[in-house]
Every structure is written in C-alpha cells, then in structure tokens.
Amino acid sequence: MKKTLFLCAALVMFGTLASAQAPDGGISEEMLAKIRTGYSGTQAQKAAKNALSRNSIAALSTNSDNLSMIDTHFSHKVTTNGITDQASSGRCWLFTGLNVLRSKMIQKHDLPSFEFSQNYNSFYDLLEKSNLFLQAIIDTRELDITDRKVEWLLKNPIGDGGQFTGVSNLIMKYGAVPKEVMAETYQSNNTSQMGTILKLKLRQYALELRDLKPNKMAERKTEMLTEIYRILVECLGEPPMEFEWTRYDKAGNAVSTKTYTPKSFYEEYLGEDLENNYVMIMNDPTREYNKVYEIEYDRHVYDGENWLYINLPIERVKELAIASIKDNTAMYFSCDVNKYMNSAKGTLDLANLDYESLFATDFPMDKRERIQTFASGSTHAMTLIAVDLDEQGQPKKWMVENSWGAASGYKGCLIMTDEWFNEYMFRVVVEKKYIPADVLELLNQKPTMLPPWDPMFSPEN
C-alpha cells in the first residue's frame, strides 16, 4: 500500500513539473516559482549567503579539519638543486622537461648548480610552431574554411603551451645552452602580448596561403617565417650559433673552458636520444587501457612526432614512477593542478576543500565523468621527484618540483596525497629502462588516431 501511494505521489509530482515547463523548453512563470523554492532563507542558507558575499569560495571551503601540514618526509627522493620560475608564461612543459635533464646534468658532471636556457628552446619552439601552422594550412587548403579541422587550426595557430615531444624534438634538432648564454627577456617571461601579435600575423598569412597557387606556396611560406623570425628576435633575442662556456666543480674551481655550438654542448654533456628513450604513459579512464593513442597535429615540429602515449591503469602508472624515483631519476609529470590545491601549504589533497558542506550539495562525478564533461584535464606539467612508501611498498604521498619560483608552495614544490594522485594525475614520461617488457610490447600496436580538439589534449601551461 505504501509503495502504491509513493508511486502515485511521484507521478503527480512529475506531471506538475512537466506542465510547469514552458512548451518551448524555456522557464515559465510557474516553473520559476518552483525554482525559487530552492532558497528558503533558512539560517544555514543566510549564513552561507552572508559569508559568500564577502569572501572567496576557496577560503570558505577550506577544511578546518585538515589545516595541519602533511608530513614532509619521503622514503625515496631524487637529487635536485634549485627551483626554476616560468614567470607569466605558459612554458611549464619546457621548464619541466629541462628540469628533468638539469637533474641529470648536475649529477653526471658533479656541478654546484645548473640551469638550461628555457628562452633558447622557446625561441625555436615558436618558430617551429609557426611553420607547423602554416604548413597545416597549406595541407588543408582544399577543405572549406568552415571545416572543423581548418577551424581548429585557425583557433589555435600558436601558443607557448605544449608537452614532452616538444622538449625531445626541439633539443634533438637545435641542442641546448646554459641559461646565462641566452637569458630571459621581458617578453619571454610575459608571453601574452607577444602571443597575440604572432597569432594575428599567422592568421593573416593563413588567408593569404589559402588563396595562393600551389607553386607559390613554399617560397611565400619561407618569406612569412623570415618575418616571424625577426619578430621573435626582437622579443626574445637572437639564439646563439656558438658560445664559450666554463664548467666549474662543486668547490668553485674552473674545470674547462670551451667553445660549443648548442648541439655540441648537448652532445658532450648529456647526449641522450630523447626521441627514442622515453615513453609517455597516460591514465585516461575514458579510453581502453593497454592501448596506444596518437593525437593529430599535437606536436611542436612539423616533421617531428605527434603526441603518442600508452594508456594504463593508475596502479601500473605508479609502478613505473616508483621504479624511476628509486633509481634517482626525475620524470616529466602532468596533472590538473588547481583542483583541491592549498597554495599556502603547497599541498594537493582531496581533504583540503569542502565544497559539499559550504553549498549543501554533492559533486559525485568520478575521473572518467570529469574528463568527458570537460570538468577536468591536464593543465600543468611539473617534475616528479619523490614518493613516500609504506611498509608494504605502497605510496602514501608524492612530491613534484614546480616552476613557479622558490617562494611558491612547499619550498617551490607541491606535495600530493596518493588519493589526489589517483583522481587528478594524468601522465608521466618514463625512460624505457624502467618500463616492463609487456608494456613496451604495446608500442608495436598501430596507434589509434585522436582529433586535436579532444578534451584531454590541451597544451600544458
């Protein structure tokens, strides 16, 4: 009898709500009257409204039960030295990649400190991205300008965000130099206005190229890139073709002074094949695991590599990361950094913020659903340098070296709980020697090609 009464009440309620909606799907007056009952002016609702009118949501949702600092001891930590600062630029991917190499450089050559020039590789990144865009416009010239691929290209002609294949392709092609050889400029540290100018110019060129005869395109593209090069030199400085550099030991004694080209410098001090020695590992629950995927046009160099990755369950990703850290090797790591972050403590912890209590509602989406609805995705790259393992060898927390300066977070780093890692970590780039044979075997698959506008593949900034 009770079930029958409940069913009848539910049907009456559904009929009432259905009739309240306007015929065209809009909000009718009757429907609005029902919607307004969502706020009834209870004491709890008034308290929330009063607080929210004068304070940030982040401050009010800070969980008072989780104010204590996370224990900062780590059972395994990679040797690093110093914190970098990408300033007001979107170059986290480049800083992260160079920081991985910087750690190796310091360890291998027993240096007191060292930093690669991010500006040097950023210069060629923007030049190569300009060529990538212009050549893609040529390649798609037969498509209508309203075609989704052409539209995507025109919306995204260039930017200073990116991912690891940019690091590998650029260094293998152009080498690397010490920071003091090509220092930062105002424009390299503050890239927004320079980016606006480059985008405007490239879009202008795109329209011109689409109207040119095919036999004129290559020559005109070279002329266009010549002008882009001039603009880049004026903004970032001219990249050196050779330079003199003195290496010092930890005691401050000069060891050697030599003249290098950027490629000979990289070859002498690291010489690692970045394009063939690293594998991008993803945890994307929206797609089948143990499969290889490739993203069209998601590269930095036209004749370079698209973003290609192996999709693995989170526990297997952790296995690879732990193996690398135990061997004192840092990794390129990316995540959705702004979720549940306490920037003052420098922690990433699901218990940092309590939105549910503040707004008296719930947020039940899981990782897969957040990706599908664009609620979450990889936004920032950092260098994974530490893990804290319990007695059973299971991770309790992780630490990344950030590129927001030494004053940010916890001594320039961020500490994340393992629970946060599960939900908002997306990828690591791991050396092949730390990857088991069964995972490496997956690279023999033909990759599934994905479109560049997929929600998972925005450039990391």
**Which of helix, strand or coil describes residue 127?**
helix
- The 8-class DSSP code of residue 70 comes to P
Structure tokens belonging to residue 50 = 């009063």
Domains in the chain: ranges and CATH: 76-450 (3.90.70.10)
Structure tokens belonging to residue 16 = 């009432």
Q: Enumerate the β-bridge partners of residue 382.
A: 333
Spatial separation of the C-alpha atoms in residues 443 and 210, rounded to whole Å:
37
CA distances (Å), origin 119, targets 39, 123, 239, 240: 53, 6, 9, 11
pLDDT at 453: 87
Options 92, 235, 335, 413, the catalytic residue: 92
What are the pLDDT digits (tens) for 262-321?
Answer: 999 999 999 999 999 999 999 999 999 999 999 999 999 999 999 999 999 999 999 999
Sequence-distant (6+) residues with CB within 8 A of 159 are 90, 129, 195, 459
- The 8-class DSSP code of residue 442 comes to G
Q: Residue 402 catalytic?
A: yes
The pairs formed by 94-97 with CB atoms below 8 angstroms and a separation of 24 or more are: 94/118, 94/121, 94/122, 94/125, 94/162, 94/166, 94/167, 95/381, 95/403, 96/167, 96/332, 96/333, 96/334, 96/381, 96/382, 96/383, 96/403, 97/164, 97/166, 97/167, 97/168, 97/332, 97/381
Q: Residue 92 catalytic?
A: yes
Options 99, 121, 169, 402, the catalytic residue: 402
Phi, psi of 162 (to 5 degrees): 175, -160
pLDDT at 5: 42
Contact yes or no for 301/173 (Cβ under 8 A): yes
Q: Identify the H or E element spanning 6.
A: helix 2-20
The position carrying tokens 């009010």 is: 60
Contact yes or no for 221/134 (Cβ under 8 A): yes
Options 99, 121, 380, 461, the catalytic residue: 380
pLDDT at 20: 61
Q: Measured in whole angstroms, how far is the alpha carbon of residue 171 from the centre of its chain?
A: 19
Sequence-distant (6+) residues with CB within 8 A of 158 are 126, 129, 130, 133, 195, 198, 199, 202
Spatial separation of the C-alpha atoms in residues 159 and 90, rounded to whole Å:
8
Selection from 373, 382, 396 nearest residue 335 by Cα: 382
Structure tokens belonging to residue 60 = 């009010």
Global model pTM greater than 0.75:
yes
Spatial separation of the C-alpha atoms in residues 402 and 269, rounded to whole Å:
24
Contact yes or no for 358/352 (Cβ under 8 A): no
**Ranges of the chain whose pLDDT falls below 50:** 1-19
Spatial separation of the C-alpha atoms in residues 148 and 454, rounded to whole Å:
12
